[in-house]
Amino acid sequence: MMSALITVARPYARAAFNFAVEHQNLNSWQQMLFFCSEVTREKNVAHILARTLTTGKLSDFFIKLCGDQLDKFGHNFIKIMSEQRRLMLLPEVFRQFNILRDVFEDTIKIEVISVSTLSAKQISKIKEAMERRLSSRVKINCKIDESIIAGVIIRIGDLVIDGSIRNRLQLLADYLQY
């Protein structure tokens, strides 16, 4: 089911992305798509979008709901998606847009898990080290997990760098069992 959503959402994301690049307006489009995706997640809105409103009424409703968060090009994008009854795909369109942007900007997203909030200096050091190691720009998403005891875990896609004390204790326990 998820792959079907991706398949249908990807052309809309690519069209929005290509338009944004062409008009040097990536940030604005990213903000518009984020806002629209959040609007569709609202229960009452989702219920209305699922109803059988005419496409004109549906796009008018959605555009009014978004207010000044959409520019004239955003209005046109919503109208096109509405005509195809695809407004509920906006969260996936936003996700696909971000993937395209990361590839375009040669940026890799990494997740840093620590036992407590990291300081700006610590995040900066991790970012610099990872950018050197990966030869690419890095976006860091920090998460807290008290079960790691101390240290950090860094996830880059399928690669995991586990520098946590929990991991070291597990390795020691495994070693002692042999």
* 110 in the same domain as 98: no
Highest mean pLDDT: which of 2-11, 62-71, 117-126, 167-176? 117-126
Q: Do 110 and 160 belong together in one domain?
A: yes
* CATH code of the domain covering residue 73: 1.10.520.20
Question: Confidence band (pLDDT; 50, 70, 90) for 2?
Answer: low
Q: Is 164 exposed, middle or buried (0-12, 13-18, 19+ CB in 10 A)?
A: buried
Give the range of the structural domain holding residue 170, as residue numbers without chain letter: 106-176
Number of structural domains the chain divides into:
2
Domain boundary residue, one of 78, 102, 126: 102
Chosen domain end from 58, 79, 102: 102
Counting residues of the chain whose pLDDT is more than 70, the rounded percentage is 97
pLDDT bucket at 10, cuts 50 / 70 / 90: very high
Cα–Cα distance measured from residue 161 to residue 152, given in angstroms and rounded to the nearest whole number: 8
**pLDDT band with cut points at 50, 70 and 90 for residue 91:** very high
State whether 86 and 171 are in the same domain.
no
Please give the backbone phi and psi of residue 46, each rounded to the nearest 5 degrees, phi first.
-60, -40
Q: Are 54 and 128 found together in one domain?
A: no
Contact criterion met (CB below 8 Å) for 15 and 24? no
